[in-house]
Chain A
Amino acid sequence: MTTLIQSFAALSDETRLSILEQLMQQGELPAGALAQGRGITAPAISRHLKVLREAGLVRQRAVGTKRYYSPDGGGLRLIADWTISRRAFWESGLDRLEAAIQQDEGWPG
């Protein structure tokens, strides 16, 4: 649960959510490309990326002095699992209920 709260906290910010969106659409990018078009400074982008990394949403790869960023599947998977779990639980239960009633009542066709 702690990780989920951290993930949501990290994404409750327009800039950070849009950074993650861009990485999910375009794949790995250097920090410079992420600063472009956002009108924010390099230190500001690093701070946002640090928050995203600590929340397990973004991965960092170093090549010499350059840093490349990509979406971290682990953290995103946690969020996806959490959002579908409730619906999946009941959908699947209701399917079984339907089957059990059908068997019990001898439904035609």
Chain B
Amino acid sequence: MTDLHMTRDFPIPPERLFAWVSRPENLLKWWGPEGMHVPEGDLDFTRTGPWYSVMVNGDGQRFKVSGHVTHVTPPTSLGFTWGWHDDNDRRGPESHVTFTISEAPNGSRLTLDHRDLDDSEQSQRHEQGWASTLRKLSALLD
């Protein structure tokens, strides 16, 4: 489906950047889009295990996402699974996020990958079909 790959450079050493993307008190400062706050959650990527966060926007709408921290390798990498919950708290399809930190000329580089997990051939086939549909559609919507 839609694998997302983004990089961003920061003028701080990898160890400090790793703290920014793993420690709860730091994550809360940037987690989620502008205008959202996180009144509820267990957002700690310094250890493996379950995590979740509930974000609330200006209109009071709640968005819950949860998963499992699968690996933590300071200061270079961490990974967690990701699934949105619907209004009835049912968890949707699972995807996987990794933060990778490497040295950059003036500090460090954060690479963010958000990939879908396909657990069967059938879902893979669906996703291929959707991907091409989406490519055409997004061209039209541009």
Contact B20 A97 (CB under 8 A): yes
The answer to whether A101 and B4 touch (CB under 8 A), given A17-B136, A88-B33, A95-B34, is no
Which chain A positions have C-beta within 8 A of B20?
Answer: 97, 100-101
Q: Which of B107-124 contact A (CB under 8 A)?
A: 110, 112, 114
Cβ-Cβ contact count across A and B, 8 Å cutoff? 72
Provide the main secondary structure of the chain A interface. helix
Give A16's nearest chain B residue, CB to CB: B133
A98 touching B32, Cβ below 8 Å: no
Is B2 among interface residues, defined by CB-CB distance under 8 A? Answer: yes
Tell me if B29 and A96 are in contact (CB < 8 A).
yes
Q: Which of A11, A87, A92, A98 contacts B137 (CB 8 A)?
A: A11
| Contact in complex: A76, B141 (CB < 8 Å) | yes
With known contacts A1-B86, A94-B110, A101-B12, A83–B138 Cβ distance under 8 A: yes
A93 close to B33 (CB less than 8 A): yes
Chain A residues close to B by CB (< 8 Å)? 1, 8, 11-12, 17, 21, 24, 76, 79-80, 83, 86-101, 105, 107
A–B complex contacts, Cβ < 8 Å, 11 sampled = A79-B134, A83-B2, A83-B134, A89-B32, A93-B32, A94-B8, A95-B34, A97-B29, A100-B26, A101-B17, A101-B20
